[in-house]
Structure 1
């Protein structure tokens, strides 16, 4: 029987989400990989236990996470039922709708039909009456933003979500959604963009809007699918994601194009007495608008190592200048398949 550590809140940082009353753990556990029907269930449980014991309270899912689609929610729902019933009110559980989940015209995107049906399915898989945050996972080019906003607002009014978020929306689209939610008095609190040292578009497109509107971000892919770790410093390991011909997330070409940059960044990390991954996570958290950084894990030890990033969050002006100079020399990378 799982019993949470009494010291679980001692080492974690909790950041306020914009001007809302909500706080998120600075590091969150994402379920994009390693929690599907193809992954060992006992290992999944061990990862979730370790996360909670380390003070991670934000658990980020989506309807289509797996494989198979939906299985991450089913597995997490089983873990919740078996081990976390008494801890539910200490957890922020999020899910999303927008990417393809079931066949036909209603299984993806942002129509009222799709969002509400998907949310109902997610709650059943999770075994919950409500989620703390429900996101529109991506903007729908064929659906008016107002329809998507109204559908998300209805989830809150029906007691199926406490807060609302959006993900992968441009700065301009985000500005429009903020106005719609403000008029509806919807508790919209967060945007979830991709953000890391190799993907910095949010700095000019999104973060200024979040700053002006007193909103926050929870960023995903902070380690750029493993590029910003020690894994590829000496080549591509046989069992790595980049060595799988079927991988849609990281290719060997991207490792080869970034290796010199990664090695230079690692030198700065070493001088800070951090691993490259720890420095990359701390670098994300330097942004005032970033309330939480989503990390993945294939084993509990990775979480222990990543949480150590919180021990050294400060950067000197010289360190930030060096990092910027290194990244400016990095040729543009084709991320179209990611």
Structure 2
């Protein structure tokens, strides 16, 4: 690792030739985050998932733009080799918006979070993004003020984001309240029940739904027509026959929260702790649901990107 004064920083952002050409020609592009690959899955499965996601996007008629940081440069449209590098290098950091200048100045490799990916995608001119689960308000945030940077970033980043709700380990009620306060529209895809990542129904109701990629594209266009700067969130539930058993989910969540409390785990360490607990406690079933969620969101995001591009 170098310090910030030892050498001039690299170019801050590089957009791949393929993504640049697609945007210039008005063709559909879908942004994909990279922390699910760099921090969410072990190699070589992470590499397989990343490359398969890009193939899903291409099969739907869109161009994939997986985003990450390589040697301090934020790359919009990682090459297969760069995806493999972020999945296998031993010192890859997790990069949110606040970390972008640090990563650039110090020449770091990084997987970009939802916030950083959305920010970089919007800067490049990409209008649609897919992820697995969104960050949100953590349990006990009334005392800790622990809230994901995803929320305020999405409040000022006009992108359409497809996710399976927020991770169920978070405070879903508080997250929905914050999104309302931040004027971020949230709609269910084919449902008015807000999904809970591992489960199709978190127990909370949404006011609105869309039932096609074209309706989602129309919603984004209406947001732009009103001059609003917030993202549009499309909450896409996992199929009920693919979800984690709801009773198992509730038991595991209670045990995971108790284990985190006993271990004194707090702050940015709690999400990976809880997700790892889920994976071990469910014998890997939660990981398979996680991947099913991601695949579904990538497929839907690509279809929405096609619909957005068709509107011009």
Give the structure with the larger helix fraction: 2
TM superposition score category, shorter chain reference: 0.3 to 0.5
TM-score between both structures, scaled by the size of structure 1: 0.32
Larger radius of gyration: 1
